[in-house]
């Protein structure tokens, strides 16, 4: 199943990102039922608060009028000293066209493009290196 994306969604996303999602779809066992949403979880099995590693990334897409649209891309990291918790470090919301960074707070589109470009570019490079186990959930 090759996903067709709405690429005019508020933030520029490179073709290599869409290609990665399609690669993962081609590996997944797709249910026979009608699918309206898909969540991709990219996980480094060795990532921990103690030893670090590659942050987990979650991507959600939803189908509207036969075309898939990005809903969010979220990067998580462990934060805190004594009892670290997994929290959102970068959250790109395509619905509200806002970006949140744990260290800079929220920002509107014109201030976020550099962060998005760097974050997605790094993510794609890590993905190409094969550091993630990928889990796909269908709704």
**Contact 110/16 with Cβ under 8 angstroms?**
no
Task: Specify the CATH number for 15-128; select among 3.10.580.10, 3.10.450.430, 1.10.3720.10, 3.40.50.11540.
Answer: 3.10.450.430
* Distance, CA of 82 to chain centre: 28
Residue 7 predicted with pLDDT over 90? no
**Contact 94/69 with Cβ under 8 angstroms?**
yes
pLDDT at 109: 61
Specify the pTM.
0.93
110 band by pLDDT with thresholds 50, 70 and 90: low
Average pLDDT of the residues of the chain: 92
| C-alpha to C-alpha distances, 9 to 12, 49, 75, 92, 138, nearest whole angstrom | 8, 34, 19, 12, 22
Indicate the domain borders of the chain: 15-128
Question: Which own/partner contact pairs does 99-103 have at CB distance under 8 Å and 24+ positions apart?
Answer: 99/11, 102/77
């Amino acid at each position: 199943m090759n996903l067709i994306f709405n690429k005019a969604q508020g933030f520029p996303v490179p073709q290599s990102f869409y290609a990665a999602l399609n690669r993962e779809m081609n590996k997944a066992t797709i249910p026979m039922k009608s699918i309206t949403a898909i969540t991709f979880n990219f996980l480094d099995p060795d990532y921990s608060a103690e030893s670090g590693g590659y942050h987990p990334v979650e991507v959600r897409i939803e189908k509207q009028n036969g075309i898939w649209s990005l809903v969010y891309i979220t990067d998580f990291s462990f934060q805190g000293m004594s009892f670290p918790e997994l929290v959102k470090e970068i959250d790109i919301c395509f619905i509200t066209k806002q970006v949140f960074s744990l260290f800079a707070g929220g920002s509107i589109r014109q201030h976020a493009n550099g962060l998005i470009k760097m974050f997605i570019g790094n993510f794609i490079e890590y993905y190409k290196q094969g550091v993630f186990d990928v889990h796909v959930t269908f709704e």
